[in-house]
Protein backbone atom coordinates (compact mmCIF):
# COMPACT_ATOMS: atom_id res chain seq x y z
CA UNK A 1 0.00 0.00 0.00
CA UNK A 2 1.32 3.42 -0.97
CA UNK A 3 0.02 6.90 -0.25
CA UNK A 4 -0.73 7.49 -3.92
CA UNK A 5 -2.84 4.31 -4.03
CA UNK A 6 -5.19 5.25 -1.16
CA UNK A 7 -8.85 5.53 -2.15
CA UNK A 8 -12.07 6.04 -0.21
CA UNK A 9 -14.17 2.96 0.52
CA UNK A 10 -16.52 2.01 -2.32
CA UNK A 11 -19.88 3.76 -1.92
CA UNK A 12 -18.65 6.30 0.64
CA UNK A 13 -18.27 9.13 -1.89
CA UNK A 14 -21.22 10.44 -3.90
CA UNK A 15 -21.00 12.79 -6.86
CA UNK A 16 -22.44 16.28 -6.34
CA UNK A 17 -26.00 16.56 -7.69
CA UNK A 18 -26.13 18.68 -10.86
CA UNK A 19 -29.24 20.80 -10.55
CA UNK A 20 -30.92 23.16 -13.01
CA UNK A 21 -30.17 21.08 -16.14
CA UNK A 22 -33.58 20.94 -17.81
CA UNK A 23 -37.02 19.53 -17.09
CA UNK A 24 -36.04 15.91 -17.69
CA UNK A 25 -33.60 15.90 -14.77
CA UNK A 26 -36.30 16.48 -12.17
CA UNK A 27 -34.34 19.40 -10.68
CA UNK A 28 -34.62 21.86 -13.58
CA UNK A 29 -36.13 25.34 -13.68
CA UNK A 30 -35.75 26.54 -10.06
CA UNK A 31 -33.05 23.95 -9.23
CA UNK A 32 -34.76 22.95 -5.95
CA UNK A 33 -34.51 26.50 -4.58
CA UNK A 34 -38.23 27.27 -4.57
CA UNK A 35 -39.71 30.32 -6.28
CA UNK A 36 -38.27 33.81 -6.00
CA UNK A 37 -37.03 35.36 -2.79
CA UNK A 38 -33.61 35.97 -1.33
CA UNK A 39 -32.63 32.32 -1.00
CA UNK A 40 -33.31 31.56 -4.64
CA UNK A 41 -30.67 34.05 -5.81
CA UNK A 42 -27.05 33.23 -6.37
CA UNK A 43 -24.45 34.51 -3.93
CA UNK A 44 -26.87 34.68 -1.00
CA UNK A 45 -25.35 34.96 2.46
CA UNK A 46 -26.96 36.08 5.70
CA UNK A 47 -25.41 37.15 8.95
CA UNK A 48 -25.82 34.82 11.94
CA UNK A 49 -28.99 35.77 13.79
CA UNK A 50 -30.64 37.35 10.73
CA UNK A 51 -34.38 36.69 10.85
CA UNK A 52 -35.50 37.85 7.42
CA UNK A 53 -35.97 41.48 8.36
CA UNK A 54 -37.89 40.74 11.56
CA UNK A 55 -36.42 42.47 14.59
CA UNK A 56 -33.72 40.00 15.74
CA UNK A 57 -33.97 38.27 19.11
CA UNK A 58 -30.86 40.04 20.39
CA UNK A 59 -32.58 43.38 19.82
CA UNK A 60 -36.04 42.33 21.04
CA UNK A 61 -34.87 41.33 24.51
CA UNK A 62 -34.39 44.20 27.00
CA UNK A 63 -30.84 45.00 28.05
CA UNK A 64 -29.83 45.34 31.68
CA UNK A 65 -26.65 45.77 33.61
CA UNK A 66 -23.13 46.66 32.75
CA UNK A 67 -20.04 44.70 31.80
CA UNK A 68 -16.56 45.85 32.56
CA UNK A 69 -14.98 43.25 30.27
CA UNK A 70 -12.09 45.25 28.80
CA UNK A 71 -10.82 46.16 32.27
CA UNK A 72 -11.67 42.91 34.05
CA UNK A 73 -8.97 41.69 36.43
CA UNK A 74 -8.78 37.95 36.96
CA UNK A 75 -7.20 36.58 40.12
CA UNK A 76 -5.96 33.07 40.77
CA UNK A 77 -6.91 31.91 44.26
CA UNK A 78 -4.79 29.66 46.44
CA UNK A 79 -5.41 28.67 50.05
CA UNK A 80 -3.10 27.93 52.95
CA UNK A 81 -3.86 24.21 52.64
CA UNK A 82 -2.26 24.33 49.17
CA UNK A 83 1.04 25.49 50.70
CA UNK A 84 1.48 22.31 52.77
CA UNK A 85 3.51 20.76 49.94
CA UNK A 86 6.37 23.26 50.36
CA UNK A 87 9.14 22.47 52.89
CA UNK A 88 9.93 24.84 55.75
CA UNK A 89 12.00 28.00 55.13
CA UNK A 90 11.26 27.91 51.38
CA UNK A 91 10.30 30.91 49.25
CA UNK A 92 6.89 30.50 47.65
CA UNK A 93 6.57 32.87 44.69
CA UNK A 94 4.78 32.82 41.34
CA UNK A 95 7.40 30.55 39.79
CA UNK A 96 7.24 28.03 42.64
CA UNK A 97 3.43 28.01 42.53
CA UNK A 98 3.47 27.45 38.76
CA UNK A 99 5.98 24.59 39.08
CA UNK A 100 3.75 22.99 41.72
CA UNK A 101 0.76 23.29 39.36
CA UNK A 102 -1.22 25.55 41.68
CA UNK A 103 -1.44 28.45 39.21
CA UNK A 104 -0.97 28.77 35.48
CA UNK A 105 2.47 29.89 34.42
CA UNK A 106 1.08 33.02 32.74
CA UNK A 107 -0.85 34.07 35.85
CA UNK A 108 -0.14 37.65 36.88
CA UNK A 109 -2.32 38.01 39.98
CA UNK A 110 -2.43 35.54 42.85
CA UNK A 111 -4.41 36.00 46.05
CA UNK A 112 -3.75 33.90 49.14
CA UNK A 113 -6.76 33.01 51.29
CA UNK A 114 -6.83 31.53 54.77
CA UNK A 115 -8.58 28.19 54.30
CA UNK A 116 -6.56 25.45 55.98
CA UNK A 117 -3.55 25.50 58.25
CA UNK A 118 0.14 26.07 57.63
CA UNK A 119 2.78 24.51 59.85
CA UNK A 120 6.07 25.34 58.12
CA UNK A 121 7.61 28.81 58.20
CA UNK A 122 7.38 30.07 54.61
CA UNK A 123 8.21 33.28 52.79
CA UNK A 124 5.18 33.82 50.53
CA UNK A 125 5.34 36.37 47.71
CA UNK A 126 1.90 37.05 46.21
CA UNK A 127 -0.04 40.04 44.86
CA UNK A 128 -2.77 39.98 47.54
CA UNK A 129 -3.42 38.22 50.83
CA UNK A 130 -6.34 38.01 53.24
CA UNK A 131 -5.88 39.14 56.83
CA UNK A 132 -6.55 35.63 58.16
CA UNK A 133 -3.95 34.07 55.84
CA UNK A 134 -1.35 36.66 56.82
CA UNK A 135 -1.99 36.07 60.52
CA UNK A 136 -1.70 32.28 60.21
CA UNK A 137 1.55 32.42 58.21
CA UNK A 138 3.11 34.87 60.67
CA UNK A 139 1.95 32.70 63.59
CA UNK A 140 3.80 29.75 62.01
CA UNK A 141 6.99 31.84 61.87
CA UNK A 142 6.82 32.84 58.21
CA UNK A 143 6.21 36.12 56.44
CA UNK A 144 4.16 37.46 53.53
CA UNK A 145 5.47 39.86 50.91
CA UNK A 146 2.79 41.59 48.85
CA UNK A 147 3.74 43.16 45.57
Write the pLDDT tens digit of every residue in 72-120. Answer: 888 999 999 999 999 989 999 999 999 999 998 777 899 999 999 999 9
Distances (CA, A) of 75 to 15, 59, 113, 135: 54, 33, 12, 21
Whether residue 136 lies inside any domain: the answer is yes
Each residue's pLDDT tens digit, 6-24: 999 999 999 999 999 999 9
Question: What mean pLDDT, rounded, does the chain reach?
Answer: 93
The one-character DSSP state at 53 is T
Whether residue 49 lies inside any domain: the answer is no
Q: What angle do CA 39, 30, 51 make, to 5 degrees?
A: 15
Q: What mean pLDDT do residues 34-53 have?
A: 92
Nearest to 115 by CA among 86, 139, 76, 81: 81
Angstrom distance (rounded) from CA 76 to CA 108: 8
* pTM of the predicted structure, to 2 decimals: 0.56
Whether residue 99 lies inside any domain: the answer is yes
Quick one: pLDDT at residue 105? 75
Q: What is the CATH number of the domain that holds 94?
A: 3.100.10.10
For residue 96, give its domain range: 79-146
Whether residue 40 lies inside any domain: the answer is no
Each residue's pLDDT tens digit, 120-138: 999 999 999 999 999 999 9
Whether residue 16 lies inside any domain: the answer is no
How many domains does one find in the chain? 1
Amino acid sequence: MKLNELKPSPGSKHPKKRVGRGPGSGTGKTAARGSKGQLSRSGVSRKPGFEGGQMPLTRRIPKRGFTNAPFKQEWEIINLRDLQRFPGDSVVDLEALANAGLVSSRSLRVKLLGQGEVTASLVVKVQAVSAQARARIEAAGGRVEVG
